[in-house]
């Protein structure tokens, strides 16, 4: 039972918001310009003789009426990867291609993009440990009893599982979705839980998970990601991919900034829920986020709502550029203090903590 002084402590704590971008995962995952070469590498891996699946048996998965052999399903995955490779090469980024598909109302192709992009990131995260900076971050903020700080909110544009993977070393839980629950991960297209006065991670672009709209059930593409990339791993991923492409009820939980949202919490939308939670923060730490124009409308809503903001930290090798772009997002900056941090060896811990 919470006593009066504990409630007072929660009220007087400074609320800190972190804004994470792709640069926060760059030690584990490819940045935009590196993605094409890494897709080529994955295709080579999947084509290798030692990882090629059987051509005479099927997965016999409920809901999959295709009767494709395991190898045919694997070749379909390789074909989709090649499609993503070619299309991403014709555009400045995957996001650009996704926006074009949305504008042209090619929603089947947009879902195809999300599906194969999810598989790509699952493989990428299976081949190397999570970015060590997440580990140091958790070691710094988690109490000796294992409790996460209730005055921190994380807003991330990344759809990777770096937060979940690193946290698993502290929770002792290897299942991705169970770690999401413990971290209070909230996303636009996911199945979310809401807890008052708690640490939360808002994923603006969703995650590389899958949701079953009919069963109202969310599950990870692969429960435990950091595993040897062997034939067994490939078979499980291809099995999920085959089920995904042959099921009408399964959807990716990736959702780009410009895509519509549904009401989530007591009739409020995802962004409104997020804004109500971060509007009273006193400090904002921007880590590896470049404020791309695609996200500007959402960034303006979130950052513009922070009416008690006093200090903004920018952590990136080009921190000055982030400051300039931030000024284009928020007009009223005269009372803000800006702190530029070029050392990216560890995630910044604001003085307000």
Residue 269 domain flag: yes
Q: Are residues 15 and 164 in the same domain?
A: yes
Q: Any bridge partners for residue 154, and if so which? A: 18, 201
Q: Are residues 275 and 188 in the same domain?
A: yes
Q: What is the CATH number of the domain that holds 199?
A: 3.40.50
pLDDT band for position 63 (cuts 50, 70, 90): low
Q: Are residues 9 and 121 in the same domain?
A: no
CA atoms within a 13 Å half-sphere pointing along the CA-CB vector of 255:
19
Q: Are residues 108 and 134 in the same domain?
A: no
CA dihedral (178, 299, 344, 323) in degrees, to 10, reads -170
Mean pLDDT of 139-149: 94
Q: Which residue bears the tokens 């079953």?
A: 212
pLDDT at 188 over 50: yes
Residue 352 domain flag: no
Q: Are residues 154 and 108 in the same domain?
A: no
Q: Are residues 111 and 167 in the same domain?
A: no
Residue 69 DSSP symbol? B
Instruction: Tell me the CA end-to-end span of the chain in Å, nearest whole number.
Output: 25
Q: Tell me: the pLDDT tens digits for 91-102?
A: 888 888 999 999
Pick the most confident of 13-17, 153-157, 225-229.
153-157
Lowest mean pLDDT among 133-137, 203-207, 249-253: 249-253
Residue 351 domain flag: no
Q: Are residues 204 and 296 in the same domain?
A: yes
Residue 138 domain flag: yes
Residue 347 domain flag: no
Nearest CA-CA partner of 287 in 332, 328, 334, 339 = 339
pLDDT given at position 183: 94
pTM to 2 decimal places: 0.90
Q: Assess contact for 162 and 132: CB atoms under 8 A.
A: no
pLDDT given at position 310: 96
**Number of domains observed in the structure of the chain:** 2
Q: Are residues 269 and 189 in the same domain?
A: yes
Q: Assess contact for 82 and 88: CB atoms under 8 A.
A: no
Residue 150 domain flag: yes
Among 217, 252, 287, identify where a domain stops.
Answer: 252
pLDDT given at position 7: 45
Q: Assess contact for 294 and 258: CB atoms under 8 A.
A: yes
How large is the greatest C-alpha to C-alpha distance in the chain, in angstroms?
68
From the CA atom positions of the chain, what is the Rg in Å?
A: 21
Domain membership of residue 246 as a residue range:
32-129+228-252
Q: Are residues 275 and 304 in the same domain?
A: yes
Q: Are residues 186 and 38 in the same domain?
A: no
Residue 318 in tokens: 């080009």
Mean pLDDT (the chain, rounded) = 88
Q: Assess contact for 353 and 14: CB atoms under 8 A.
A: yes
pLDDT at 116 over 50: yes
pLDDT at 24 over 70: yes
Among 184, 217, 252, identify where a domain stops.
Answer: 252
Residue 93 domain flag: yes
pLDDT given at position 106: 96
pLDDT band for position 2 (cuts 50, 70, 90): very low
Contacting residues for 319 by C-beta, under 8 A, at least 6 apart = 340, 341, 342
Long-range contacts of 81-90 (CB under 8 A, 24+ apart): 81/39, 81/42, 81/43, 81/46, 81/116, 81/119, 81/120, 82/43, 83/112, 83/116, 84/39, 84/113, 84/116, 84/117, 84/120, 85/36, 85/39, 85/40, 85/43, 87/113, 88/35, 88/36, 88/39, 89/36
Q: Are residues 18 and 88 in the same domain?
A: no
pLDDT at 11 over 50: no
pLDDT given at position 219: 78
pLDDT given at position 79: 97
pLDDT band for position 212 (cuts 50, 70, 90): confident
Residue 222 domain flag: no
Mean pLDDT of 30-46: 92
Q: Are residues 86 and 174 in the same domain?
A: no
């Amino acid at each position: 039972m919470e006593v009066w002084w504990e409630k007072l402590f929660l009220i007087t704590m400074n609320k800190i918001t972190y804004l994470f971008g792709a640069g926060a995962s760059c030690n584990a995952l490819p940045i935009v310009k590196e993605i094409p070469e890494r897709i080529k590498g994955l295709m080579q891996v999947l084509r290798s003789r030692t990882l090629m699946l059987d051509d005479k048996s099927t997965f016999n998965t409920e809901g999959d009426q295709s009767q494709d052999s395991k190898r045919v399903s694997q070749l379909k995955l390789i074909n989709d990867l090649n499609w993503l490779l070619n299309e991403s090469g014709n555009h400045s980024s995957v996001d650009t291609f996704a926006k074009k598909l949305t504008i042209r109302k090619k929603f089947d192709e947009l879902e195809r993009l999300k599906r194969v992009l999810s598989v790509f990131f699952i493989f990428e995260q299976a081949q190397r440990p999570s970015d060590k900076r997440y580990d140091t971050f958790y070691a710094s903020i988690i109490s000796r009893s294992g409790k996460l700080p209730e005055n921190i909110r994380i807003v991330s544009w990344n759809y990777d599982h770096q937060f979940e993977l690193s946290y698993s070393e502290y929770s002792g839980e290897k299942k991705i979705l169970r770690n999401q629950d413990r971290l209070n991960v909230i996303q636009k297209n996911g199945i979310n839980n809401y807890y008052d006065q708690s640490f939360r991670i808002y994923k603006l672009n969703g995650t590389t998970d899958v949701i079953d709209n009919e069963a109202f059930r969310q599950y990870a593409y692969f429960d435990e990601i950091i595993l040897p990339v062997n034939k067994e791993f490939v078979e499980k991923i291809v099995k999920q991919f085959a089920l995904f492409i042959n099921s009408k009820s399964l959807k990716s939980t990736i959702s780009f900034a410009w895509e519509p949202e549904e009401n989530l919490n007591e009739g409020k939308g995802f962004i409104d829920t997020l804004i109500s939670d971060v509007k009273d923060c006193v400090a904002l730490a921007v880590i590896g986020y470049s404020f791309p124009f695609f996200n500007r409308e959402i960034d303006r809503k979130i950052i513009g709502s922070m009416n008690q903001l006093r200090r903004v930290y920018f952590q990136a090798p080009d921190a000055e550029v982030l400051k300039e772009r931030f000024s284009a997002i928020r007009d009223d900056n005269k009372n803000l203090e800006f702190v530029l941090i070029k050392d990216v060896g560890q995630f910044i811990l604001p003085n307000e903590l």
